[in-house]
Amino acid sequence: MLELERVTKIYRLGVLGRKALKAVDSVSFTVARGQVISLIGESGSGKTTIGRMILRLTPVTFGRILFQGADISKFHGLALKNYYRRVQGVFQDPFSSYNPIFKADRIFNIVQREFFPHLTKGEWRERVANALCSVGLEPGEVLGKYPHQLSGGQLQRLLIARAMLLEIQFLVADEILSMLDASTRIDVLNLLAELKRIRDLAVLFITHDLSLAYYISDEAIIIYRGYIVEQGAIEKVFVSPLHPYTRMLLAAVPRLDRKWGPAEVGLKAQEGKIVGGCPYHDRCLHAEKEETCKHLKPSLVFVDDRHSVACHPMGRLAKGVSHGTSEARGTSVA
């Protein structure tokens, strides 16, 4: 359904844009219909930038994003509007999506004006009511209220209902649970899972929370400094992690069966941005013994058809290494 082909985003910084920051580095992956893929990484890893490029909120510097085989950068006018009928996003802070001086249901009025001007008021009210009920909201309790009168969970559900009104096929869910309490998080997760089952909805679930990713996802993509370091089926990545960064993330997840203790994976002090080599080499203990890590960026190597890693030491152990390390093809577990 949606495919990223070596997508790169470079921001120009400083006076006259003489400095460059590569926020996303040759990212390739495919999302199939009805599939939930989690994009996982720490803050500043490029996750949100990828989501914004898919939503055409940020332009791509190099590479292509294809939706049903068509380059989305070529969409204009009616073609772009039709794209937004099928692809929508919900973001981290629900309050930032609303104007505090307008009632929350104004977001539905905007959708009607742009996409359904032919519907009567009665027909539209019925559609909105059905969409709200599908996300567990009672229309009489939320419509006509200002954003500050509703909880974060209610506001997120309103945004999801707005997206469902367009009968979307692909949702970018960017840290949509980070501002919600624990009980509300599971409700929203179950809602996404239900929409996936009923509507065959595809979701790019952007998060730094590994437990949430494991709960809902079919596939995980681990990204570091804009570069994919590991990806594959969720059980492969979480049960048998290969990249040192993935192992560090998993080791840092708090355990309920024991008190907080030292991390199981050591880290070197981060020394800042690097020019070449593996993006993770200045934090990786393996790099001390691997001169290649400092000078040559690893390509994704397929361990099997549902798991790949970008790491020189692990790559040599991968089954596909006898065929030579190839460029990332993107994986899909559909």
Domain boundary assignment for the chain: 2-95+169-323
Strand partners, 89: 172
Q: Which residue shows structure tokens 């919600």? A: 180
Could you say which DSSP state residue 304 is in? E
- Helix axes of 78-86 and 106-115: crossing angle, nearest 10 degrees: 130
pLDDT band at 75 (very low <50, low <70, confident <90, very high): very high
Q: What is the pLDDT of residue 325?
A: 40
Residue of 113, 6, 134 lying closest to 65 (CA atoms): 6
Q: What is the pLDDT of residue 334?
A: 34
CB neighbours (10 Å) of residue 249?
A: 21
- The sign of the CA dihedral 254, 258, 261, 266 is negative
Cα(161)–Cα(137) distance, rounded to whole angstroms? 9
Burial track 85-121 (b if 16+ CB lie within 10 A, e otherwise): eebbbbbbebeebbeeeebbbebbeebbeeeeeeeee
Residue 273 parent element (H or E): none
Structure tokens that stand for 292 in this block = 């290649």
Mean pLDDT estimate for the chain: 82
Amino acid at 54: I
Express each pLDDT in 187-239 by its tens digit: 778 888 888 888 888 999 998 888 888 888 999 999 999 999 999 999 999 98
Cα(134)–Cα(40) distance, rounded to whole angstroms? 28
Residue of 295, 313, 288, 315 lying closest to 303 (CA atoms): 315
Domain boundaries 2-95+169-323, corresponding CATH code: 3.40.50.300
Amino acid at 205: F
- Indicate whether 91 pLDDT > 90: no
Strand partners, 221: 39, 231
Express each pLDDT in 244-269 by its tens digit: 899 888 887 776 666 665 554 444 44
Average pLDDT over residues 89-101: 83
Cα(41)–Cα(259) distance, rounded to whole angstroms? 24
